[in-house]
Amino acid sequence: EAGVVQSPRYKIIEKKQPVAFWCNPISGHNTLYWYRQNLGQGPELLIRYENEEAVDDSQLPKDRFSAERLKGVDSTLKIQPAELGDSAVYLCASRILAENTGELFFGEGSRLTVL
């Protein structure tokens, strides 16, 4: 069974440029998360989807960040315009909502460097 797939793995851009990250969760996983992980820190939640609905986007900086999960499967996270402080690893994770003890399955992450 394929795991959570993210692309691109690495992205280097100049500040003020746009960037987008894509995530394809494990088949059948209705809950999808985007986390941001700064160097030396734990992941911090940006947004959580249950199916196609964003049920928690309270930590998403909405002035420059946007996300979508059309059809409740794969998802895209966009930053426009990027700032130096956005350099981080962006992790996507998925799980089955109904499983009380279900752990999150993570992708390998997309490492963003903003110059």
Is-contact 78 63, C-beta < 8 A? no
Is-contact 34 78, C-beta < 8 A? no
Is-contact 5 106, C-beta < 8 A? no
Q: Name which of residues 5 to 64 contact other proteins (CB under 8 A).
A: 33, 40-45, 48, 56
Q: How far apart are CA 21 and CA 75, in angstroms?
A: 8
Least separation in angstroms between residue 101's CB and other proteins is 5
Least separation in angstroms between residue 24's CB and other proteins is 15
Task: Work out whether 78 is an interface residue with other proteins (CB under 8 A).
Answer: no
Q: Interface residues with other proteins (CB under 8 A)?
A: 33, 40-45, 48, 56, 89, 91, 93, 97, 100-101, 103-109, 111
